[in-house]
Structure 1
Amino acid sequence: MWRKAASVGGLTLVSRLFGFVRDIMMAAMLGAGPLADAFMVAFRLPNHFRAIFAEGAFNAAFVPRYARALTRDGEGAAKAFAEDVLALTLAAQIVLLVLALIFAPFVVALLAPGFVEEPGQLSLTASLTRITFPYLLLISWMTLVAGVLNAHDRFAVAASASILLNICMIGALLMTGLFPTVAHALAVGVLVSGFAQLGVVLWDARRAGVSLRFRRPRMTEHVRNFLRGFGPAVVGSAGVQIAMFADTILASFLPAGSVSYLYYADRLYQLPLAVVGIAIGTVLLPELARRLAADDLPGARDRLNRALEGALAMTLPFVALFAAAPGPIVAALFGRGAFDAAAVDGSAAALQAYSVGLPAIVALRCVTPAFHASGDTATPVKALAIATIANVALKFALVGSLFSAGLAFATSVGAWANLLLLTWLLARRSGFAADRRFVVAMASLAAATAASALAVRWSLGPAAGFRGLIPQFPDFAPAVVIGVVGVATYGVIAAAGLLLARRAR
Structure 2
Amino acid sequence: MSGRISHSIKRITNRLFHAPERKSGALSISGASPGQSLSVAAIIMMIGLLLSKLTGQLREILIVPILGYGTVSDAFIIGFQIPDLFYQLLIGGAIQAAITPTLAAAIERKKEREGWHSISIFINLSAMAVLAAVILGEILSPVLIPLYNQGKAAETVELAIRVSQALFPQVFFMMMAALCIGILNAYRKFTSTSFGPSVYNLCVVLAMVLLGQASALGAVRVAAGVMLAACVYFI
TM-score (norm 2): 0.74
Distance 1:51 1:4 in 2: 27
Change (3 A) 1:107 1:190: same
Residue in 1 that maps onto 2:29: none
Whether 2:125 is the aligned partner of 1:98: answer: no
- Correspondence for 1:158 among 179, 193, 199: 193
CA RMSD of aligned residues (A): 2.2
Q: Deviations over 1:414-452 (max 9, x none)?
A: xxxxxxxxxxxxxxxxxxxxxxxxxxxxxxxxxxxxxxx
Structure 1 residue corresponding to 2:224, chosen from 185, 188, 200: 188
* Structure 2 counterpart of 1:48: 85
Distance (Å, rounded) in 2 between the aligned partners of 1:76 and 1:48 = 35
Partner of 2:158: 123
User: What is the deviation of 1:172?
Assistant: 1.9
Which secondary structure state, in structure 2, belongs to the residue aligned with residue 114 of structure 1? coil
Say if 2:204 is the partner of 1:169: yes
Structure 2 unaligned spans of 5+? 1-37
Which residue of the other structure, out of 98, 105, 108, is the alignment partner of 2:145? 108
Aligned equivalents of 2:211, 2:41: Cα separation in 1 = 38
Amino acid at match of 2:104: A
Gap change, CA 1:33 and 1:148, over 3 Å in 2: same
Name the CA shift for 1:6/1:50 in 2 (closer, same or farther; >3 Å): farther
| Worse-matched range after superposition: 123-132 or 171-180 | 171-180
- The CA distance in 2 between the partners of 1:157 and 1:44, in whole Å, is 28
User: Which structure 2 residues correspond to residues 313-352 of structure 1 after superposition, within 5 A?
Assistant: none
**1:11 matches 2:48:** yes
How far 1:171 moved relative to its partner? 1.8
User: Using the alignment, how far apart are the partners of 1:177 and 1:145 within structure 2?
Assistant: 30
**Counterpart mapping for 1:97-496 below 5 A:** 97-115=134-152, 118-176=153-211, 180-199=216-235
**Deviation for aligned residue 1:73:** 5.3
Partner amino acid, structure 1, of 2:101: P
Over alpha carbons, which structure has the higher Rg? 1
**Which residue number corresponds to residue 413 of structure 1?**
none
Deviations 1:129-188 (A, max 9, x none): 010010000110110111011011111112222123222222222223687444223212
Q: Is the 8 A contact 1:142 1:197 kept in 2?
A: yes
Cα distance in 2 for partners of 1:45, 1:177 equals 21
CA distance in 1, matches of 2:212, 2:71: 20
Q: Does 1:36 align with 2:73?
A: yes
TM-score normalized by structure 1? 0.36
Residues 149 and 155 of structure 1 are in contact (CA less than 8 Å); yes or no, is this contact kept in structure 2?
A: yes
Distance 1:110 1:180, change over 3 A: closer
**Residues 73 and 111 (structure 1), Cα distance of their counterparts in 2 relative to 1, 3 Å cut:** farther
CA distance in 1, matches of 2:146, 2:190: 38
SS in 1 for 2:189: coil
- Distance (whole Å) between structure 1 residues aligned to residue 42 and residue 88 of structure 2: 21
The one of 61, 66, 75 aligned to 2:112: 75
Q: Report the alpha carbon displacement of residue 32 of structure 1 after superposing the two structures with TM.
A: 5.0
2:23 maps to none
Q: How far apart, in 2, do the equivalents of 1:12 and 1:88 lie?
A: 30
CA distance in structure 1 between the partners assigned to 2:87 and 2:212 by the alignment: 30
**Contact 2:211–2:218 under 8 Å retained in 1:** yes
Other-structure match for 2:28: none
Give a deviation string over 1:167-213, Cα, whole Å, max 9, x none.
Answer: 222222222368744422321221011110111xxxxxxxxxxxxxx
Cα distance in 2 between the residues matched to 1:177 and 1:164? 19
Whether the 8 Å CA contact 1:104–1:130 is kept in 2: the answer is yes
CA–CA distance in 2 between the matches of 1:160 and 1:3?
A: 14
Counterpart Cα distance in 2 of 1:19 and 1:31: 19
Summarize the Cα distance change of 1:72–1:93 in structure 2 as closer, same or farther, 3 Å threshold.
same
Flag the 1:3–1:93 CA change in 2: closer, same or farther, 3 A.
Answer: same
1:41-92 CA distances to partner (integer Å, 9 max, x unpaired)?
Answer: 2223222222222232222333222322332352111111111111001111
Amino acid at match of 1:189: G
Alignment partners' CA distance in 1, 2:212 and 2:107: 50
Identity of aligned residues (%): 25
Deviations 1:242-290 (A, max 9, x none): xxxxxxxxxxxxxxxxxxxxxxxxxxxxxxxxxxxxxxxxxxxxxxxxx
Paired residue total: 197
Shift of residue 28, structure 1, vs aligned partner = 1.9
Q: Deviations over 1:463-488 (max 9, x none)?
A: xxxxxxxxxxxxxxxxxxxxxxxxxx
